Structure 1
Amino acid sequence: MNIELQLTKVHSKENAQLIAIHVGNNAQRFEELMQLFFHKKYRISQRAAHAVSHCVDKHPNLLKPYINQMIDHLKSDPEVAIKRNTVRLLQKQDIPEESQGLLLDKCFEYLSSPSETTAVKAFSMTIAYNLTKLYPELESELKIVIEDLIQYATPGVVNRAKKILADLG
């Protein structure tokens, strides 16, 4: 299968799943898909991000070699679909120490932005919470940000915020 060609055919869950089945646990095919994830054309990267999500749901270890690159890519302020899929995927990964600071900064930025989407905020909250397990001194800062966020957040964000606040004490 030519993955890029397949991505141009249609944007659908079924197509993303078809590509994920083709990729399977094959690191070379996943590398090809990840190159498309970082593609300059938004439509290609958006559709590749959807397929990457399906691949990583089944084979989480495939993402490990790309975690730093994905975090670095957040500095370019990618389109919302790329940002959403990136933070969604990273919330379940072990973040390399050299990228933890940048990722945490981006998560706090997303949580503090009134224009950020619900999904990006929810996933960012989980990432920040996961990182406070490594850096407990950040718990109070995260609590403050979450308490401010709850005042104007959507029900999905409020639900996740309450769970994290309960875990933080």
Structure 2
Amino acid sequence: MDLRTEILSENSRAQSLRIAAWIGPDAERFAALIHLFLHDEYRVVQRAAWIVSFVAKKYPALLAPHLPAMVARMEEPGMPVAVKRNVLRILQYLPVPESLQGPVMNSCFAFLEDPLEAVAVKAFSMTVLANLAKDYPDIKNEIRLLIAAELENNPTPAIRSRARKVLKAIQ
């Protein structure tokens, strides 16, 4: 299968699931997908992101060698929102390796503070920070302050729902 061609052939959940099933637990195929996700044109990155999240959910161990590159790419200015959104979506469900906790925490705080950041990126950032607060309880107050500001400035249903859950989790 030519992975890039298949990704571009159809933009649907069914196609994404088909490609994810083809990748399965194969580390080489997953590495090829990650390469497209991190380095290709916007449309490929956007579609690959969905497949990455499907594979990562089923085979989280495949992510370990790629997390440093994913986190570094997420931090780059001008990165497509699909990259940030899907890296954070994945990080919600995984323990963040200690070596990446600082950069991930800094990125999540920056995303929450940015008034132009996408709602999904902010919502996922809240959850990732709540998870990190278990190991770093000192950040709970800063999380609360940023959530309060977000609720005041951008009270979308997604933000309100996620804020409630995160605030309950960090009590």
Same fold (TM over 0.5): yes
1:91 partner SS: helix
d(CA) in 2 for partners of 1:24 and 1:74? 24
Q: Which residue of 1 aligns with 2:51?
A: 51
After TM superposition, list the pairs within 5 Å mapping 1:99-138 onto structure 2. Answer: 99-138=100-139
Q: Which residue of 2 aligns with 1:165?
A: 167
- The one-letter amino acid paired with 2:160 is V
Deviation at 1:7, TM superposition (A): 1.2
d(CA) in 1 for partners of 2:83 and 2:110? 16
Cα deviations by residue, 1:64-107 (Å, 9 ceiling, x for unpaired): 11111111111213111111111111111111212111111111
Q: Which residue of 2 aligns with 1:36?
A: 36
> Percent identity between the aligned chains?
38
Q: Conserved in 2, the CA contact under 8 Å of 1:110 and 1:124?
A: yes
Q: Which residue of 2 aligns with 1:71?
A: 71
- The one-letter amino acid paired with 2:120 is A
2:32 partner SS: helix
Deviation at 1:40, TM superposition (A): 3.3
The count of aligned residue pairs is: 169
Question: Which runs of no fewer than 5 residues in structure 2 stay unpaired?
Answer: none
d(CA) in 2 for partners of 1:155 and 1:27? 38
Question: Which runs of no fewer than 5 residues in structure 1 stay unpaired?
Answer: none
TM-score (norm 2): 0.93
d(CA) in 1 for partners of 2:8 and 2:147? 39
d(CA) in 2 for partners of 1:22 and 1:40? 20
d(CA) in 2 for partners of 1:57 and 1:119? 18
Q: Conserved in 1, the CA contact under 8 Å of 2:130 and 2:169?
A: no
Deviation at 1:168, TM superposition (A): 2.1
Runs of at least 4 residues off by over 4 Å? none
d(CA) in 1 for partners of 2:50 and 2:166? 27
Q: Conserved in 1, the CA contact under 8 Å of 2:39 and 2:45?
A: yes
Q: CA RMSD in A?
A: 1.3
d(CA) in 2 for partners of 1:28 and 1:109? 33
d(CA) in 1 for partners of 2:25 and 2:40? 25
Q: Conserved in 2, the CA contact under 8 Å of 1:139 and 1:168?
A: yes
Q: Conserved in 1, the CA contact under 8 Å of 2:133 and 2:170?
A: no
TM-score (norm 1): 0.94
